[in-house]
Amino acid sequence: MACRYDAAYGMRMTTAADLDALTALDQAATPGPWYVRAMDDENATCATAVATKPNTSGDNDDLSGSTYHGVVAATSIQHHDYVVTADGRSRENAALIAAVRTALPELLRLARIGAAADRA
């Protein structure tokens, strides 16, 4: 499942093999949709995460009584500076991750249609 990477631009999707590799990543990952979660309790002080479940209690969820909150990635956990972004854009990064993950199956479908049209 090798994808080609360009140091300046990240992964390029230029061949059927690249689309196949991205499809394999999509299928191996936790299914979407994904949501941005803002969490604030004694365990996750001012945390921002990406999860399979949306926030349920307004802007910040208290996770202390929850056994499953669907988190698949964290973009900020400020308690003890555990996960801190270099540019302070944790919510923006989480929004991008959640949106792209949720849109990825359709984007791959459209990319394959475009690639087939180019070959025709």
Q: What is the pLDDT of residues 47-85, one digit of tens each?
A: 888 888 887 765 556 555 555 678 888 888 776 666 767
Give the gyration radius of the chain's Cα atoms. 17
Is residue 60 in some structural domain?
yes
d(CA 56, CA 119) in angstroms, rounded, equals: 47
35-47: b (≥16 Cβ within 10 Å) or e: bbbbbbeeebeeb
d(CA 104, CA 44) in angstroms, rounded, equals: 29
Provide the 3-class DSSP secondary structure of residue 104: helix
Is residue 61 in some structural domain?
yes
Q: In terms of residue numbers, what domain contains 54?
A: 32-118
* Domain tally, the chain: 1
Q: What is the mean predicted confidence (pLDDT) over 9-30? A: 81
Q: What is the pLDDT of residues 80-110, one digit of tens each?
A: 666 767 787 888 989 999 999 999 999 999 9
| Chain position carrying tokens 């140091």 | 7
